[in-house]
Amino acid sequence: MDDFLKVTSTRARDLTPEPVPSQLVDPFGRAVDYIRISVTDRCDFRCVYCMAEEMTFLPKKDLLTLEELEQVCRTFMSMGTRRIRLTGGEPLVRRNIIQLIRNLGAEVKSGQLDELTITTNGSQLTKMADDLAEAGVRRLNVSIDTLDADKFKLITRWGDLDKVLDGMKAACDAGLSIKLNAVALKGVNDDELGDMVAWAGEQGYDMTIIEVMPMGDIGNETRVDQYLPVSVVRSRLAKRFTLTDSDYASAGPARYVNVTETGRRLGFITPLTHNFCESCNRVRLTCTGPALYVSGTG
Ligand code: SAM
Ligand code: SF4
C-alpha cells in the first residue's frame, strides 16, 4: 500500500504529533475519499463474462472477516474516506453481511460517512431491501443486462429475472434509489439496450452501460465474441434518444449524458475504447485484503 498511496497531512509540518484526520492521496495528488470493497468472491450467479460455471473460490480462511472489513473501513474513514461501496462477487450472499452494513450504516446516520452503497445482482433484495434501507443504505447499483427472462438465464446461467425485478420493486418500496448497470454484449443484448434505457426511465432509474472487460476467470470461453465498443452503443442510442453531455461525476469511471426523452442520466464505462483512469479516484480492496488498486466498474 505504501508504494501506491501515501498519507499526508493538511497541516503545516512541525515536530508536534500529527493530528487525525490525515488525508489519503494517490501519487497524482488526488484525495481518495471513496473506497470500493469486495466483501466476497462468491456469487449465486455465473455471468458468462465474469465467471466460469465451475468456480474454485478462495478458502474462507483467506477472506477478511466482517470485523476486519469493518476495521479497514474505519481506518480509511480516519484518512478521509466519505463514501463506501460494497461489492463482490455478490455482496448480499455473504453470511451476516447485514451486520457490517448496519455498523457502517450507523456512520452514515451519524454523519461520519456521506454514503454507503452496494452493487448487487439483485437476487437477495426481496429478502433484504427493508433491512438495507433501515441500516442506512440509500442507493443500490443493480446489474441487469437484459429484460428477456430466457436471455437473462443464458447470461447469468443461474439467475431468475423475475426474482431480481421483484427485488428491485422491494428496494424501491423501501425507499432505495436504484441505478441499473448493464454490460453491452455483442449479439446478445445490443438490440435491446435502447428499450432498456426507455424502461429504466419509466422506472425512475439512472443507468450505466459497461464495455465488457477482460477480467475474471470465465473458463474456456472467449470474450472476443462478447466485445462491443460502447462508442458504437452510444451512436446507436443517439439515433433514438437525445443525449446531452453531462458534467455529473460519480467518482467512479462512468461518463454521463442526460437523456432528454426519459429525463434520466445515462453513464458509459469504456475501459477499452477510452481509458478512464484520470477521472477515477477510487480505491478498491479485494476480499482477501492486501491487493489494493484503483478503478473498476462495480
Ligand atoms: N455481483 C454484483 C453485480 O453483479 O452487480 C457485484 C459484483 S459485479 C463484479 C460488479 C459489476 O461488474 C456488475 O455490474 C457486472 O456486470 C460488472 N462486470 C463483471 N464482469 C465484467 C466484465 N468482464 N466486464 C465488464 N463488466 C463486468
Ligand atoms: Fe456474480 Fe456479479 Fe459476476 Fe454476475 S457479474 S457472476 S452477479 S459477481
**Residue 10, pLDDT score:** 43
Task: Average the pLDDT over 91-108 and give the result.
Answer: 98
| 170-187: pLDDT as tens digits | 999 999 999 999 999 999
**Residue 137, pLDDT score:** 98
Q: What would the DSSP string read from start to end of 228-250?
A: --HHHHHHHHHHHS-EEE-----
Q: How many angstroms separate the alpha carbon of residue 123 from the centre of ligand 2?
A: 11
The best mutation among 143, 164, 213 to test binding of ligand 1, ranked by most ligand atoms within 8 Å of the C-beta, falls on: 143
Residue 217 has pLDDT above 80, yes or no: no
Mean pLDDT lowest among 116-120, 140-144, 277-281, 282-286: 277-281
% of the chain exceeding 70 in pLDDT: 82
Q: How many angstroms separate the alpha carbon of residue 216 from the centre of ligand 2?
A: 10
**Residue 6, pLDDT score:** 45
Which cell is 151 given? 436471455
Torsion of CA 42, 32, 214, 155, to 10 degrees: 50
Residues 6+ apart with CB under 8 A from 86: 37, 39, 97, 100, 101, 116, 117, 118, 119
The best mutation among 41, 119, 223 to test binding of ligand 1, ranked by most ligand atoms within 8 Å of the C-beta, falls on: 119
Let me know: does 273 contact 230? Beta carbons within 8 Å. yes
Task: Average the pLDDT over 191-209 and give the result.
Answer: 97
Q: Give residue limits of the domains in the chain.
A: 32-180+189-207+278-292
Q: Which atom of ligand 2 is nearest to the CA of 183?
A: 5
Q: Could you tell me if the CB of 90 is within 6 A of ligand 1? A: yes
**Residue 223, pLDDT score:** 58
Residue 5 has pLDDT above 50, yes or no: no
Task: Average the pLDDT over 275-295 and give the result.
Answer: 61
**Residue 15, pLDDT score:** 53
Let me know: does 267 contact 206? Beta carbons within 8 Å. yes
Residue 150 has pLDDT above 50, yes or no: yes
Q: Which amino acid is residue 220, in one-letter code? A: N
Which residues in 40-66 are b (16+ Cβ under 10 Å) and which e?
Answer: bbbbebbbbbbbeeebeeeeeeebbeb
Task: Average the pLDDT over 212-222 and give the result.
Answer: 68
**Residue 22, pLDDT score:** 76
| 22-78: pLDDT as tens digits | 788 877 788 889 999 999 999 999 999 999 999 999 999 999 999 999 999 999 999
Distances (CA, A) of 243 to 36, 185, 228, 234: 29, 21, 20, 9
Please name which ligand lies nearest the alpha carbon of 38.
Answer: 1
Residue 221 has pLDDT above 90, yes or no: no
**Residue 285, pLDDT score:** 82
Q: How many angstroms separate the alpha carbon of residue 216 from the centre of ligand 1?
A: 9
**DSSP 8-state symbol, 31:** B
The CATH code belonging to domain 32-180+189-207+278-292 is: 3.20.20.70
Let me know: does 259 contact 46? Beta carbons within 8 Å. no
Residues 103 and 83: their CA atoms lie apart, in Å, by 14
Residues 210 and 269: their CA atoms lie apart, in Å, by 5
Residue 252 has pLDDT above 60, yes or no: yes
Which cell is 163 given? 426474482
Q: Which residues line ligand 2 (CB under 6 A)?
A: 43, 45-47, 50-51, 88-90, 121, 143
| 254-276: pLDDT as tens digits | 899 999 999 999 999 986 655 44
**Residue 9, pLDDT score:** 42
Phi, psi of 241 (to 5 degrees): -125, 155
The pTM for the full model equals 0.89
Mean pLDDT lowest among 138-152, 183-197, 221-235: 221-235
Let me know: does 93 contact 42? Beta carbons within 8 Å. yes
**Residue 173, pLDDT score:** 98
Residue 294 has pLDDT above 70, yes or no: no
Q: Could you tell me if the CB of 120 is within 6 A of ligand 1? A: yes
**Residue 234, pLDDT score:** 96
Q: Could you tell me if the CB of 221 is within 6 A of ligand 1? A: no
